[in-house]
């Protein structure tokens, strides 16, 4: 079964590398008009080669996050059909003991991992569209089809020797 997203608008945060890039590229390959954002302009250059309309956005700024959704809707003339809240991480705190993580660093981690997802979701629902987003539809078949696309792309397997970054390299 080949699932298509022709005529759909997809927004993917954290699209500069890893899972985000892979998700954005997959939706583009399946016919969607895809918009991706990230902090890294250099990484977005590669994402854009797959047909993704890429933009640098600091998602720790909720106003900037909402403005990105508004620009997408203005560009397409309609609402975002699929929002992928992928941005997140540890904001440079890899391998730091918790007692060494400063409050400002923790606040940034929380702003991107939680605040950005909230701001993007709220902004995408504030659009003029009366369409019910797929995640609220009663049709669980739609969600299972989308899961099959993601599962197939990442070729999920129980392999303890494989890290998350290995999956992103397959794209």
The SS3 assignment for 79 reads coil
pLDDT at 160: 46
List, for the chain, all residue ranges whose pLDDT scores fall below the cut of 50: 128-130, 132-170
pLDDT at 143: 44
At a CB cut-off of 8 Å and minimum separation 6, what does 167 contact?
Answer: 19, 22, 154, 155
Q: Assess if residue 159 is contained within a domain.
A: no
Q: Assess if residue 84 is contained within a domain.
A: yes
At a CB cut-off of 8 Å and minimum separation 6, what does 71 contact?
Answer: 55
Q: Assess if residue 38 is contained within a domain.
A: yes
CA–CA gap between residue 74 and residue 8 (Å, rounded): 15
CA–CA gap between residue 33 and residue 133 (Å, rounded): 17
Q: Assess if residue 117 is contained within a domain.
A: yes
CATH number at residue 50: 3.40.50.720
Q: Assess if residue 160 is contained within a domain.
A: no
Domain residue limits at 62: 9-92+101-133
Q: Assess if residue 147 is contained within a domain.
A: no
Q: Assess if residue 67 is contained within a domain.
A: yes
Domains held by the chain: number: 1
Q: Assess if residue 33 is contained within a domain.
A: yes
pLDDT at 148: 47
Query: Considering Cα of 136, then 39, then 24, then 155, what sign does the dihedral take?
Result: negative
Nearest to 91 by CA among 122, 121, 114, 62: 114
Question: What digits encode the pLDDT tens for the residues 109-143?
Answer: 899 889 999 999 999 987 644 454 444 443 444 44
pLDDT at 1: 63
Q: Take residue 143 and report the two structure tokens written for it.
A: 């969600």
């Amino acid at each position: 079964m080949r699932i298509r997203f022709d005529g759909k608008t997809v927004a993917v945060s954290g699209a500069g590398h890893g899972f985000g890039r892979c998700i954005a590229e997959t939706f583009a390959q399946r016919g969607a008009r895809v918009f991706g954002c990230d902090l890294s302009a250099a990484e977005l250059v590669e994402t854009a080669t797959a047909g993704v309309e890429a933009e640098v956005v600091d998602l720790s700024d909720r106003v900037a996050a909402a403005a990105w959704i508004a620009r997408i809707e203005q560009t397409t003339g309609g609402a975002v059909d699929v929002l992928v809240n992928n941005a997140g991480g540890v904001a440079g705190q890899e391998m730091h003991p918790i007692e060494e993580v400063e409050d400002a660093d923790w606040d940034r981690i929380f702003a991107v991992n939680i605040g950005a997802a909230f701001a993007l979701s709220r902004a995408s629902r504030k659009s003029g569209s009366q369409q019910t987003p797929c995640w609220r539809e009663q049709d669980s078949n739609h969600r299972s089809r989308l899961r099959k696309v993601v599962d197939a792309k990442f070729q999920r397997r129980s392999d303890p020797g494989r890290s998350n970054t290995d999956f992103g390299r397959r794209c």
